[in-house]
A = this chain, B = another copy of it.
Amino acid sequence: MAKKKLNLGMIGYGFMGRAHSNAFRKVGNFFPLEHEIVLKAACARSEDKARAFAANWGYESIETDWRKLVDRPDIDVIDIASPNDTHREIALAAAAAGKMILCEKPLGRNSAESEEMVAAVEKAGVANMVWYNYRRVPAVTMAKQLVEEGRLGRIFHYRAKFLQDWTINADLPQGGAALWRLDVNVAGSGVTGDLLAHCIDTAIWLNGPIVEVSAMTETFVKERMHNLTGKVEKVGIDDASLFLARFANGSLATFEATRYARGHKALYTLEMNGEKASVFWDLHDLHRLQYFDHADEGRLRGWKSIHITDGDQPYMKNWWVPGLQIGYEHSFVHQVADFVAGLESGQPAGPNFRDALQTDYVTDAVLASARERSWKTVKQG
C-alpha cells in the first residue's frame, strides 16, 4: 500500500536543521505511518549552504528566499529551524499560505511575538507544533504516564535545572552564524529562552500551570566582541537565570539554567516529589528514569534506576532490543512520528503553538521578575 506524501520545506541548516532532517529521514523506517515525509526543499539565504545542506540530507530542491518556499504549492509543511528572530515572520506567512508549521523553540522571542503566531495558525486552522523535543525522551514520556496514572499522588515539589558551561571563556565572541544565541536581538533572551524554556515546557506538561515566580538573572561576562560589527559590545543576554515558582496544584519549585556551570555540558535534570512516589530524570543519561515508590515494602524501598529500553516502555518497541539504548536524536523522531500520527488520527499531538505560548508567558514573567526584583503572576493563556 503506497504511503501518502507529506511534502516538507525546511528553513535553516544549523544544529536544529540537522536534527530535524535526521528525524524526517528516519521516522518511516521505524514507525508504521500512513504518510511518508518527502524532503522537498531546503532553504537558506546562502545558495552554497542551501545546496550543500540539500545534498547532504537528500532534499530535492533548494530556495534562498523563505518567502518563495512558503509560497510553493508543492509544500505541505514548513519547518522553521532558523534563528529565533525569524520565527514570527515566517510563521505568519506560512500560516497565511495555509501550510502546516513545525517551529523550533522558543516560539517567538517573547510572548508578544508568540501571541501573533498563535493567532495566525489558529485563524488559518493549520496543524502546528513546537519542537520541545524532551517530552518525547522515553523516560520523560514514562514519567508523564506515571503522573497521569496517579502514581505520584499529590505533588509537593518540582525542581529542574539545565546546566551548561560553554560560554565561560570571556574571549568567546557573540553573534553571527554559530553564536546567534549570544546576541539578544536575535535570540530574544539568553538561557531563559534557550534552556529554561525546555524546563518550563516539560514542567507544565507534567505538573500543570505555573502561577507565580520570583527570579534572578545574571550576565557574568558583560562585554564580548560582536561577530557582526567587529566591535566589543555589551552583552544583552542573561547568562544564568534562576527562579522560585508555585504551581497551580500547590507544589513549590526551583528552576535554574546557566551556561556557567563548569563540568556540565547539557545537564537537564528534573525531579517531582509526590505524596506516594517520586521521579528523577537526567539528560546526561537520558535512557534511564529514577523512580521511588513509597508503596514498596519498607526495608526494600529505594530509588530504582529503570533502563528504558524495553518494548513496554514508551516508543521502545519501535527500536532495538532490551538493553540497547537510544540517544538524543530519537526524541525528534518520536516527535515527527507523533505529529504525523496526530494528523492521521485527528488528535493533534502537542505541544502546539498555544502550549508554547504558555511557556513564553512564564519566561516573560521570569525576566520581568528578575528585572523588577519582585514576584510576578504568570499570565494564563
Interface residues of A (CB under 8 A from B): 15, 19, 21-22, 25-26, 28-29, 56-57, 142, 156-157, 159, 161, 163-166, 168, 214-216, 218, 220, 240, 242-244, 246, 250, 252, 254, 256, 258, 260-267, 273-278, 283-288, 291-294, 296, 298-307, 309-310, 312-313, 319-330, 373-375
Contacts and interface: CB of A to CB of B under 8 A. Distances in A.
A276 B298 contact: no
Q: Most chain-B CB neighbours within 10 Å: which of A246, A275, A286, A304?
A: A304
Nearest to A265: B323
B244 A261 contact: no
B264 A323 contact: yes
A263 to B, nearest CB: 3
Contact of A263 (B164, B220, B278, B284): B278
26 contacts: A21-B29, A22-B26, A25-B29, A26-B26, A29-B56, A159-B161, A214-B216, A216-B244, A216-B252, A240-B252, A243-B244, A254-B256, A260-B273, A262-B292, A262-B294, A264-B323, A266-B323, A267-B323, A284-B307, A285-B288, A298-B310, A299-B312, A319-B329, A320-B328, A320-B329, A374-B375
Given A276-B262, A321-B15, A327-B330, A305 B302 contact: yes
A25 B261 CA distance: 37
Q: Most chain-B CB neighbours within 10 Å: which of A263, A324, A325?
A: A263
B324 A157 contact: no
A36 to B, nearest CB: 10
Copy tally for this chain in the complex stands at 4
Nearest to A240: B252
A242 B254 contact: yes
A308 to B, nearest CB: 8
Contact of A274 (B258, B262, B319, B325): B262
B321 A310 contact: no
A15 B218 CA distance: 42
B19 A266 contact: no
A264 to B, nearest CB: 7
Contacts of A373: 214, 374-375
A275 B258 CA distance: 13
Contacts of A309: 265
Given A254-B242, A291-B302, A305-B303, A325 B263 contact: no
Contacts of A303: 263, 304-305
B240 A261 contact: no
A250 B218 CA distance: 9
A273 B15 CA distance: 27
A278 B262 CA distance: 6
Nearest to A168: B275
A240 B305 contact: no
